[in-house]
Structure 1
């Protein structure tokens, strides 16, 4: 068992008993890791306010390898995106979509640092004012590419090649609705379970 300190993004957080909580994070290496926070569900927990989804954190944990849940020793909150969301349902479901898709498409202990960089790039671009529909499209297409889902791409969608060639803030997509629907539909098709956030986004945007 070794101690590791890593920067990570929290995908989800849930209670496992009266006092403990588990968080699922994606670290900078692109690995999805589950960490148990002992006492993390108590009112006076030292983890209070630091275990919520949509947060970038620095975690210190005991890596048990294949021997069970890793134990969270300490967490430093680097950025909480709840302040950016501010009750905006479109922003909330956009980030929920990022988290839900990443959780579905990335398996425990797999490693792809490009996925962490993708999430960071999309979130930073959203905070800088990039169109939400375009940001979701960019994330969807790149997640499909990084997951190896390439054969079904439609070369007739002009914006597709631009997304794969340019950073998000440099895009000038002329068909945002087409690429948005295409990305969400293909993501949903390749998910093993229905994506509730995808349905909400279609209704909101």
Structure 2
């Protein structure tokens, strides 16, 4: 992924955290969607499709083998997920991935991007959303197990994030951008509480 593309996704994540009024880890994806839905023209509904839904609106192809998927029904966006057969950490990542598609406008704009490129962007968005670097840094949660615990993400996702955190720690360029400082400020109470406990 090119650096400019990464920075664009990172900035969208920071804006999502700020606009979604996220102030603690693990990110509460339901609260995030509720807060984002308060904005004009945005309504994101999270729905566990295993509890039943009007199946005339959902096709078997939409559900088959998917942890989560997004669809538009009556001008509202629904992210459907299945937490009955998949671990919570995987479901959280899949929901964050779907939010990434929405925020990055993959579902609404015509693009020259391939499916593989869109999926890579949504994956990057998900890990940056669920495990914001500035918060991990300030909590000194930069190792795989610490990231897995504080962010409620899978071991494999935490391992990938720990690898990128090692690079960020070497660069040590935190709090240099206004959006990142705003995220840091929003999480400050959580960071203080976490550091007092651990």
Q: Work out whether the TM-score is over 0.5.
A: no
More strand by share: 1
Normalised TM-score (structure 1): 0.29
Larger RCO, structures 1/2 (Cα 8 Å, 6+ apart): 2
